Amino acid sequence: MTRPIGHRGIVARLESLGTAVRDREHEGVHHAYVFSGPSGVGKWTTAVWWAMSLKCEEATTCDDDCGSCRQITAGTHPDVAFCRPEDSGKPIKIDQIRELIRLMSLRSQRPGPRLALIDAPDGFVVDAQSAMLKFLEEPPGASIIVIVIDNPALLLPTVRSRCQIIRFGTLTKEELISLLTDAGRSAETAGQASAIARGRASKALAYDPEGLELRATLINEFEAVRGNRQADIEPLVTKLADKKNPRDEWLEMLLEWQVAKIEASAGAEVAEANPDLRNLLDGLDPAHTERLISEASKMSFTRSALARQANAKLAIRELLLDIRG
């Protein structure tokens, strides 16, 4: 069974719990867990790996390609129920929890416990948590529930109190490089991507050579507008407002860039692999830190406004005019 990269202490603990479950020694094995921590650091990947290790009959020798593991990966295993948001950025709904409870009440068809994996990056509606509470208090038969969520504060205290919380941190640069090289990235690409991913595997994997080039272009266009009050902002406004483009991802990219500048201006070591961008960061005046923080706050506000369906062109134009002013 291929272990997830990073989080060695957590993986070792889950392996120990898995051994106890397979040996039917349930002491120390809880019925509900919350995997919490920053987005993109491998919480969901670890939850799926644990489900595979608990249900695989060849756990010690399996290469993740047995029938059971393939079914879990495909979401078709009869003893593993998945619950994910119906729409990106939306909370889990009560009907989804009711269906999950129905599935978990069925008899297990294969050795080992039934498992419910709930991917809830944006939490649950209150009614869904209320419905889940009884499920957590009286789980059906031998079952294990794993809730994967970025911020456990989004859960009701009564829900949190019935779960064991396992906190995930970010990955090291070395772990990200190992992940990227295993995925076929060149050493140069892996080095650049790991330097800017801020410890998140999903972000590092998104930065292939094309993604790195796009990021550099976007940042240079932004800095050209930001640093010149006479520059024409409309091309960048049109680009960022276009529905065909992943504008929220691009605005997040610019916001992370702004955070990197704040850290550099405050004296932090510049962890930037692109030489041209490194030169820009190294030349920052520490006296500009307050301005950079203000700009970052405005960018964050604009992202929130767009999430509330604000007029994209107006919001982005106002942001760029405000920042360069």
Instruction: Give per-residue pLDDT as tens, 171-203.
Output: 999 999 999 999 999 999 999 899 889 899 999
Query: In this predicted model, what pLDDT tens digit does every residue of 300-320 receive, in sequence order?
Result: 999 999 988 889 999 999 999
Over residues 65-91, the mean pLDDT reads: 90
Give the residue with greater pLDDT, 68 vs 266: 68
Domains, the chain: 8-167 (3.40.50.300), 208-324 (1.20.272)
Regarding beta strands 32-36 and 80-83, do their DSSP bridges make them parallel or antiparallel, or are they unpaired?
unpaired
In whole angstroms, give the CA distance from residue 267 to residue 257: 16
Over residues 46-56, the mean pLDDT reads: 92
* pLDDT on residue 121: 92
Lowest-confidence segment of 66-70, 80-84, 303-307, 312-316 by average pLDDT: 66-70
Q: Could you tell me the pLDDT band of residue 278, with boundaries at 50, 70 and 90?
A: low
Give the residue with greater pLDDT, 272 vs 123: 123
pLDDT at 289 over 90: no
Alpha helices for 242-311 (secondary structure H): 247-265, 275-282, 289-307
pTM higher than 0.95 for the full model? no
Which are the contacts of 125, defined by CB distance < 8 A and separation ≥ 6? 91, 92, 93, 94
